[in-house]
Amino acid sequence: MASLRRLAWMCRDLAKQHVDDPDVPAAPDGADGYAEWVQIALILYRVELKKSLRETEDYLNEMPGILAVFDLDEAPHYSSFCRWENEYRMRELRRLLRASAEQAGWSGEAAIDASGFQRDQTSYHYRDRANYSFQSMKTTTQIDVNSLAIKDAHFTTQKAWDGHIGMQVFRVPAEDLRVLSADANYSCGKLREECRSESTRPLIKHREQTPL
């Protein structure tokens, strides 16, 4: 319980640092209204617990000590979690990601790589209910090689070139990096130039343009 409560306090503190007015009461408008810091804190807590929306509601209602950390007497309905996560823009979530990852510390050495999510891995019922039609999603992450903390992430449903995505992922935390590693898919002259302009050493395998 102590570790879970400590995690709840970490999510609460991080959320309060992120919002403009951290002193707003947790439920200023009654049972149907929740402060922005509460929404962010509960989203972070749910992700850390790795629980579904319904499981999160049931879990919190069985843990009054955790609810007390968030100044709540009762957990929000699971549909509220879904609505909150859909309302926050990706830019805000990336800021939260970087802020939470700072707690792990930075070694100054990072690596970039991507993975994909295919549409056929989800149920047709969910796709119809969520009303989306993309075929696949590409996720590119920048990870600290020592702490394995994710420093930044990029998501796209388009066929974007890895070199251009690499520049976007590199730019935000560029001032903290001494070494950036990537495979040949990120072999891009502009990315290497941008790395060197920020005093970052690019360890990127060169792509062979002709057969060996």
Distance set, CA 147 to CA 5, 7, 19, 109, 172 (Å)? 23, 18, 27, 10, 19
Q: Which residue has the higher pLDDT, 32 or 175?
A: 175
Write down the mean pLDDT value for the chain: 79
What was the pLDDT predicted at 45? 87
Distance of CA 104 to the CA centre of its chain: 15
Residue 202 is encoded by which pair of tokens? 């690019």
Tens of pLDDT, residue by residue over 70-121, are 999 888 888 888 887 777 666 666 666 666 666 667 788 888 888 776 555 5
Domains and CATH numbers, the chain: 2-88 (no CATH), 106-204 (3.30.420.10)
- Kindly list the strands in the beta sheet with 201-204, ordered across the sheet, starting from the edge strand earlier in the chain: 150-156, 136-144, 109-118, 179-182, 201-204
User: In this structure, how many other beta carbons lie within 10 angstroms of the beta carbon of residue 40?
Assistant: 23
Average pLDDT value for residue range 23-43: 78
pTM over 0.75: no
Of 189-193, 198-202, 206-210, the least confident: 206-210
Of 1-10, 32-41, 137-146, the least confident: 1-10
